Structure 1
Amino acid sequence: MQRPALFLCVMVTMLVAAPGAIARDSLGMFGRWGAFRDAGVPRCYAIAMAHAGRGDARGDFQPYVDVAWWPKRGVRGQLHVRLSRRPGDGPITLTIGDQSFRLVGGGGEAWAADERMEAAILAAMRSASGLRISARGGNGRGFTDHYDLTGAPTAMDAAAMGCAGAR
């Protein structure tokens, strides 16, 4: 099975296994990213799963990054990260090219510290080939989740358009 087909199968399986997944509409697959709409909420999002690197051990969670639009809440382009492990004390750092951002979060989740940081991250995602998120786990060992940004700009645009008329 080719990588894009495998990725699509995993994404579909992940969405079907999630509660309420039946309400989600696919807006398309774009490279390593998918775009979806949940009209019942309403919300739309672009999402990608981390790709495994050499030596990666199984973590606590299936890591992913999503960028979401929640029209009723007035939220546009909200970055959310599901880390592969629960972080311990210390920073959670998202790196895109030569830019680094210190995220906030806990319990395996992370977000941009504020809207200004979020805008800078989304802009950087549009012109980079990948990003990585690094932290230290509760055991003190460092870990890094890697993401391919191929298709991210198009998936983000599709998600934004998917919720453009929703109120």
Structure 2
Amino acid sequence: MRQFDKKLFNLFYLILVLGACVLALGWSSNLVLASGIKAANTFGGWSVHVMGQKKQKVCYIHGKPKKSSGNYAIRGDSYIQVVHRLKNKVRNEVSITAGYTFKKGTEVAVKISDQTFKLFTDGETAWSKTASDDASLVAAMRAGTKMIVTGRSSRGTLTKDHYSLVGFTAANRSIDKSCGYKN
């Protein structure tokens, strides 16, 4: 009799654990859906994301470097984002996050082919000075094949992040379409 009780208990426990897993998976996927962010597609190393609806819609591209160099002990994630925000009439706003705090007063150099763009820094992020600078940088990214981002940390460490631009043009066209911009 006791052996039967143990088997029944094990079966009950297994059903309980499986049920909890199913509920947890359903709940976590609902959280992603509730956040309103959807990954629309990936083009090369560039992922496209869309969140919000109608005039509140935000569409952005996210890319990570293929290679990073520099003599640093600890560094967080580095990435580039290109954002459209309909509410603010923002198109192709470029931001570069370094994974460290930039040295105060320094600029980030972005080299694509024979062009170099200078971005100002604030904390861990670098930005173009004007919307026109963003447009020029995005045009170069669409025309190029690789990009090197050079920055200096608050500790003086020089870093270089190497990005592939393969797929960037398709990703940029995708956010244009998702946010209702003509190419």
Q: Tell me the CA shift for residue 23 of structure 1.
A: 1.6
Q: Which residue of 2 aligns with 1:64?
A: 79
**d(CA) in 1 for partners of 2:96 and 2:129?**
12
Amino acid at match of 1:159: I
Change beyond 3 A, Cα 1:127–1:56 = farther
TM-score, normalised on structure 2? 0.72
1:93 alignment partner, SS class: strand
Q: Which residue of 2 aligns with 1:52?
A: 67
Summarize deviations over 1:80-111 as a string: whole Å, max 9, x none: 11113211142211111111111012111011
2:59 alignment partner, SS class: strand
Q: Which residue of 2 aligns with 1:99?
A: 115
Change beyond 3 A, Cα 1:59–1:99 = farther
Q: Is the 8 A contact 2:69 2:159 kept in 1?
A: no
Q: Tell me the CA shift for residue 33 of structure 1.
A: 0.5
Task: Between the two structures, name the one with larger relative contact order (CA 8 Å, sep ≥ 6).
Answer: 1
Percent identity reads 23
Q: Which residue of 1 aligns with 2:175?
A: 159
Q: Is the 8 A contact 2:50 2:60 kept in 1?
A: yes
2:135 alignment partner, SS class: helix
TM-score, normalised on structure 1? 0.79
Larger proportion of helix: 2
Amino acid at match of 1:147: Y
Match of 2:46 among 9, 33, 56: 33
Q: Tell me the CA shift for residue 132 of structure 1.
A: 1.5
Q: Which residue of 1 aligns with 2:157?
A: 141
Q: Is the 8 A contact 1:60 1:86 kept in 2?
A: no
Change beyond 3 A, Cα 1:53–1:144 = closer
Question: Runs of 5+ in structure 2 lacking a partner?
Answer: 1-28
Q: Is the 8 A contact 1:88 1:140 kept in 2?
A: yes
Name segments (4+ residues, structure 1) moved above 3 Å.
19-22, 53-60
Q: Is the 8 A contact 2:95 2:125 kept in 1?
A: yes
What is the aligned-residue RMSD (CA, Å)?
A: 2.4
Change beyond 3 A, Cα 1:21–1:128 = farther
**d(CA) in 2 for partners of 1:46 and 1:31?**
12
**d(CA) in 2 for partners of 1:70 and 1:23?**
15
1:138 alignment partner, SS class: coil
Q: How does 1:105-124 map to 2 (within 5 A)?
A: 105-124=121-140
